Chains A and B, each alone.
Chain A
Amino acid sequence: MHIMEGFLPLNWCVVWYVLSLPVVAYGAYKMNIMIKENRDILPLLAVSGAFIFVLSSLKMPSVTGSCSHPTGTGIGAILFGPWITSVLSIIVLIYQAVFLAHGGLTTLGANTFSMGIVGPFAGYLVYKACMKRDVNMYIAVFLAAMLADWLTYIVTSIQLALAFPAASGGVMASFEAFLAVFAITQVPLAIVEGAVSALLFKHIVQLRSDVLLKLNVASPSVMKKLKEASA
C-alpha cells in the first residue's frame, strides 16, 4: 500500500496531507491526554505500535505470485481507537520513507490516509458492531484486523485511480487496473493478519483484562466469560 515517492501528482499529495494531518493531530492530542490520565496503558500502547512495526516489515508471498505486507493496525484500532492508531501508523510510515525508501515523504499523506485512517476506522467500527451483536470477541478481532488490512489496499487503489484516470473508462477503469495489483494478493495476507491479531489479543485478555475494561474494549460480563473459558 506504500505509494512510492513522487508517484502522486503534487495536487493529490496536498489533498491527502490535508485530509490526514488533522486526524493525526487530533490523535496525538488524544494520545497525550490518555497517557497523562492513565500510565497503565503505556505498555499496551507500545505493544500496539510494535505490532504495526513488525507486521508492516514482513513482505509475504501471496497466491498471485507477488509479495505484499500486512498492516498490523487492527490491534491498535481496537484497543485505543482509530485516532491514536493514525499516530502509530505515521511513525512507521515515516521510518520506512526515510530509511528504507519505501513509501515516501510526498506520498506520506496518502499512505497515512489508507493505512492509518481508513483501515483503523473500518476495523474499529467492525469490532464495535460485532461486540454489540455478541459475536465471540476473538472472531470480532479477526474480522476487524482482516478488514483493516484489506481495506487499506483498496483505498490505495482508489487513491492511485483518482490520480491516474484511464484515457478510456476514466477513474473506474484505472481503479480496476490497480485493484488487480492489490486486491487478491492481499486476501491471504489479511486472513493471516486477522488470525495473528486474534492470538495476540487472547494473550492481552489473559494478562491485562483490567486495562481492557478501563479502555472500554469489552464489557465486564464478556471478559468474565472469556477468562473462564480459557482457564
Chain B
Amino acid sequence: MKLEYITLAIIVAFIAAFAYVSSTGNHEWGGSDDMPENVINDLTHGSYHPWFNSVWVPPSPEIESLLFALQAAFGSLIIGYFLGYYRGLAKARAAATSEEQEGNLNARPAR
C-alpha cells in the first residue's frame, strides 16, 4: 500500500501547486504545445509561415474534447480490462492450488 500513498501524496501536491499558482496570478493555462508559435514569431520576426495545414481540424472545442476524452476512455478501458482479467485469473489459480494442497480434489470435478 505504501506506493499508493506516495502516489496519492504526489498527486495531491500537484493539485495544491495548481491551486496556489492559479490563486496568485493571472494565467491563461494555454497548451505548451501551442506556445512555440510565439517564440518562432519572435525569432523570425514574423517571417515564418506554416507551409502545411492540418488535414482535418475538429470543428469545435466540444468535438475536440470529445475526441480527447475518447482517447483517454479507450486507453483506460484496455488497462482496466486486462488488469481485472489478470486479477481474476490469479485468484482462480490460487483457489485451485489451495484446494489441491488440502487434498480436496474431489470437491470439484476435474477439468
Q: Write the residues of chain A forming the contact surface with B, with a CB cutoff of 8 angstroms.
A: 1-7, 9-10, 43-44, 46-47, 49-54, 56-69, 95-106, 138, 160, 164-167, 174, 177-178, 181-182, 185-186, 188, 191-192, 195-196, 198-200, 202-204, 206-208
Contact = CB atoms under 8 A, between A and B. Distances in A.
B83 A47 contact: yes
A56 B68 CA distance: 9
A8 to B, nearest CB: 9
B101 interface: no
Nearest to B4: A199
B85 A43 contact: yes
B64 to A, nearest CB: 6
Instruction: Give 6 nearest A-B pairs by CB, closest first.
Output: A65-B27, A6-B50, A53-B75, A54-B75, A50-B78, A6-B52
A6 B49 CA distance: 8
A5 B89 CA distance: 45
Interface of B: 3-4, 6-7, 10-11, 14, 17-18, 21-22, 25, 27-37, 39-40, 42-44, 48, 50-58, 64, 67-69, 71-72, 74-79, 82-83, 85-87, 89-90
A99 B72 contact: no
Given A47-B78, A181-B39, 16 more contacts: A4-B34, A4-B36, A9-B51, A57-B75, A61-B22, A62-B17, A66-B27, A67-B32, A69-B33, A164-B40, A174-B43, A177-B39, A181-B36, A188-B14, A196-B7, A199-B4
A61 B29 contact: yes
B72 A58 contact: yes
B31 A198 contact: no
B36 A67 contact: no
B72 A53 contact: yes
Contact of A54 (B22, B79, B90): B79
A1 B4 CA distance: 29
A92 to B, nearest CB: 8
Question: What does DSSP make chain A's interface, helix, strand, loop or mixed?
Answer: helix
Chain B interface, >50% SS class: helix
29 contacts: A50-B78, A57-B69, A57-B71, A62-B18, A63-B17, A65-B22, A65-B28, A66-B27, A66-B30, A67-B29, A69-B33, A97-B54, A98-B55, A100-B58, A101-B56, A101-B58, A104-B52, A105-B55, A138-B3, A160-B40, A174-B43, A177-B42, A177-B43, A178-B39, A191-B10, A192-B14, A199-B4, A199-B7, A207-B87
A187 to B, nearest CB: 11
A6 B53 contact: yes
B25 A7 contact: no
B50 A67 contact: no
A167 B47 CA distance: 13
B85 A53 contact: no
B37 A7 contact: yes
Contacts of B87: 207
Contacts of A188: 14, 17
